[in-house]
Amino acid sequence: MLPAVAVSQSPEEKFREYLMSRPKQQRFTGQQRDMVRYIFQKHNHFDADQLIDEMKKDGYDVSRATVYRTLKKLVDAGLLRKLDIGPRKYFEHDYGYPQHEHLYCVICHKMIEFQHPGLEGIMRNVCQQHNFLEQGHSFIIRGTCAECNRAKMTKRRLDLV
Amino acid sequence: MLPAVAVSQSPEEKFREYLMSRPKQQRFTGQQRDMVRYIFQKHNHFDADQLIDEMKKDGYDVSRATVYRTLKKLVDAGLLRKLDIGPRKYFEHDYGYPQHEHLYCVICHKMIEFQHPGLEGIMRNVCQQHNFLEQGHSFIIRGTCAECNRAKMTKRRLDLV
DNA sequence: ATTCTTGCAAAGCCTTTGCAACTGC
DNA sequence: GCAGTTGCAAAGGCTTTGCAAGAAT
């Protein structure tokens, strides 16, 4: 987990502002407020289903359709980032959280965040070269994490006995 | 389009070899041969649907289910790479084609390939730091390509008249 | 002959949507 | 009270699968 980025507004305020400023005015409802608070109270990666399960387990009354609709708005508002990993769509904090990339463990499905000082320059470079206007990017390295590697090695050793 | 990488076998041969070497022996059928030849005769990015359409247009008799099944084998065999771009799954040559990353134009859906000498080192670095064993990666920069940017600018100029 | 592959259509999975009831402003 | 939101269930897109018929070895 990386250090947070200082922001002047709470996610909730920022979302209200986004809703107000649309060409077509949108409303800030109780369920949306619950979702924003719930999501920004912890830091992790989640997909729609996980969020629904967790929120229900914690006593919130959320409907699948509304969660999908609200997640879309949150991405649009710049509060969340969407990640495509294989067939699943994950979400993670964007507002108040630094830009980063991911290592994705194909065994335990853990996501490890990383930053690298050279990346930004490379991207700027490449885009310039192709006259390309970046809107966003995703850089995901797939493989096996330290723990799972250890487990595999232990297992291999046991198999040899 | 990048320069090809020299390989000793034809894609077809390499696929046969893969099929033979499985724990459970698999067969090389006419439809699979058609697909391998068709796919490796041109270089481009495609999804299952596009491939089916194009092959049908060119007079081949392919069924959706078999195309999906064969594409999966081709990825497994190391002939194709799979890309997740938003909701779509694209395929591209892996065998005989160099490692590269993508710029994806959100307007015209063009995919531009690029390579950058610094990337490999960064990845090796990051993986080492986390004791992570890489199996593959995807680096996709989303945005608007040179042509679409030009078109937008022209349009803006016209709108101002 | 045996075993794998094919094609169909049905089922799956995840996400979106039409619509009537509801609620924020 | 108006306009946007909700929840349901139904529809969507894309992919996978069960099964009987067909093909490869």
Option in B126, B138, B144 nearest A133 (CB): B144
pLDDT in tens, A44-76: 899 999 999 999 999 999 999 999 999 999 999
Highest averaged pLDDT of the listed ranges A1-10, A102-111, B65-74, B87-96 = B65-74
Spatial separation of the C-alpha atoms in residues A79 and A71, rounded to whole Å = 9
Largest CA distance in chain B: 69
Q: How big is chain B, counted in residues? A: 161
Q: Which pLDDT does position B24 carry in this prediction?
A: 81
Over residues A8-26, the mean pLDDT reads 90
B109 — pLDDT class (breaks 50, 70, 90)? confident
What DSSP string describes B74-139? HHHTTSEEEEEETTEEEEEE-TTS---EEEEETTT--EEEE--HHHHHHHHHHHHHHT-EEEEEEE
Option in B84, B125, B141 nearest A137 (CB): B141
pLDDT of residue A42 exceeding 80: yes
Spatial separation of the C-alpha atoms in residues A88 and B55, rounded to whole Å = 29
User: Is residue B24's beta carbon less than 7 angstroms from any atom in nucleic acid strand C?
Assistant: yes
Nearest CA in chain A to B115: A126
Q: Which pLDDT does position A25 carry in this prediction?
A: 85
Q: Which pLDDT does position B29 carry in this prediction?
A: 95
What DSSP string describes A122-137? HHHHHHHHHT-EEEEE
Task: Enumerate residues near strand D (beta carbon within 7 A).
Answer: A 19, 24-27, 29, 31-32, 61-66, 69-70; B 27-30, 47-49, 64-65, 68-69, 72, 87-89
Residue of A24 and B31 predicted with greater confidence:
B31
Nucleotide nearest to A71 (CA to C1'): C15
pLDDT in tens, B15-48: 999 998 877 889 999 999 999 999 999 888 999 9
pLDDT of residue A155 exceeding 80: no
| Beta-carbon separation of B130 and A118 below 8 A | no
Alpha-carbon distance A72 to nearest alpha carbon in chain B (angstroms): 14
Q: Which pLDDT does position A35 carry in this prediction?
A: 97
| Beta-carbon separation of A116 and B137 below 8 A | no
H helices of chain B, in order, are 11-21, 30-41, 48-57, 64-76, 117-130, 146-160
Q: Which pLDDT does position A23 carry in this prediction?
A: 75
| Residue A131, phi then psi, degrees to nearest 5 | 55, 45
Share of chain A above pLDDT 90, in %: 68
> Which domains does chain B carry?
1-98 (1.10.10.10), 99-161 (3.30.1490.190)
Mean pLDDT of chain B: 91
Question: Could you tell me the distance in Å between the CA of residue A89 and the C1' of nucleotide C20?
Answer: 31
- Taking one residue from A and the other from B, the number of pairs with CB-CB distance under 8 angstroms is 113
The partner residues of B90 in beta bridges, in order of sequence, read B83
A103 — pLDDT class (breaks 50, 70, 90)? very high
Q: Which pLDDT does position B86 carry in this prediction?
A: 75
Residue of B28 and B159 predicted with greater confidence:
B28
pTM comes to 0.86
pLDDT in tens, B117-133: 999 999 999 999 999 99
CA-atom Rg of chain B in angstroms = 19
B110 — pLDDT class (breaks 50, 70, 90)? confident
| Beta-carbon separation of B132 and A143 below 8 A | yes
Structural tokens at position B137: 């990666």
B154 — pLDDT class (breaks 50, 70, 90)? confident
Structural tokens at position A48: 């729609």
A129 — pLDDT class (breaks 50, 70, 90)? very high
Share of chain B above pLDDT 70, in %: 99
Q: Are strands B101-105 and B88-93 parallel, antiparallel or unpaired?
A: unpaired
A22 — pLDDT class (breaks 50, 70, 90)? confident
Nucleotide nearest to B63 (CA to C1'): C7
